[in-house]
């Protein structure tokens, strides 16, 4: 029996990536996270509840991020990504973390 995908977004792109990296503008801090593809929350990264990064993230923001595959021989993809949600996990598997939902919008415009 074949199960039909119920999500409206394509899953193809998410399955290609293992981690994501980005820089917060105005700082020299590079953040790199493993990508989690949780069925109830979609593609997200886990951010510790005491991380300074949370001060810079807002739902609806667009960030340019480098997406890496688990195969290091393939180049990273530089993609515009929207912050879809920032959800605190109070008591579940990722207690004391925020799940930051990501949605890939496409390649960023270049001047």
| Domain annotation covers residue 69 | yes
55 domain residue, yes or no: yes
Q: What is the pLDDT of residue 9?
A: 47
Helix, strand, or coil here: 33?
A: strand
Full domain range(s) for residue 95: 14-106
Report the number of distinct structural domains present in the chain: 1
Within-domain flag for 24: yes
Q: What is the per-residue pLDDT for 110? A: 63
Q: Residue-wise pLDDT tens for the chain (111 aa)?
A: 444 444 444 444 556 789 999 999 888 899 999 999 866 657 999 999 999 999 999 999 999 999 999 888 899 999 999 999 999 988 778 888 999 999 999 887 665
Q: How far, in Å, CA of 70 to CA of 85, rounded?
A: 25
Helix (H) or strand (E) holding 34, with range, is: strand 30-34
Task: Please check whether residue 3 lies inside any domain of the structure.
Answer: no
pLDDT confidence of residue 82:
95
In a domain, residue 111? The reply is: no
Residue 4 lies in a domain: no
CATH code at 89? 2.40.10.220
Position 11 scores a pLDDT of 44
């Amino acid at each position: 029996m074949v199960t039909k995908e119920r999500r409206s977004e394509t899953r193809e792109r998410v399955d290609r990536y293992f981690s994501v990296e980005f820089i917060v503008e105005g700082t020299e801090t590079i953040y790199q996270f493993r990508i989690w593809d949780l069925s109830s929350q979609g593609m997200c990264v886990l951010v510790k509840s005491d991380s300074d990064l949370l001060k810079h993230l807002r739902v609806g923001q667009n960030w340019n991020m480098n997406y890496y595959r688990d195969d290091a021989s393939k180049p990273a993809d530089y993609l515009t990504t929207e912050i879809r949600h920032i959800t605190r996990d109070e008591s579940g598997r990722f207690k004391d973390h925020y799940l930051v939902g990501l949605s890939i919008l496409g390649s960023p415009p270049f001047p």
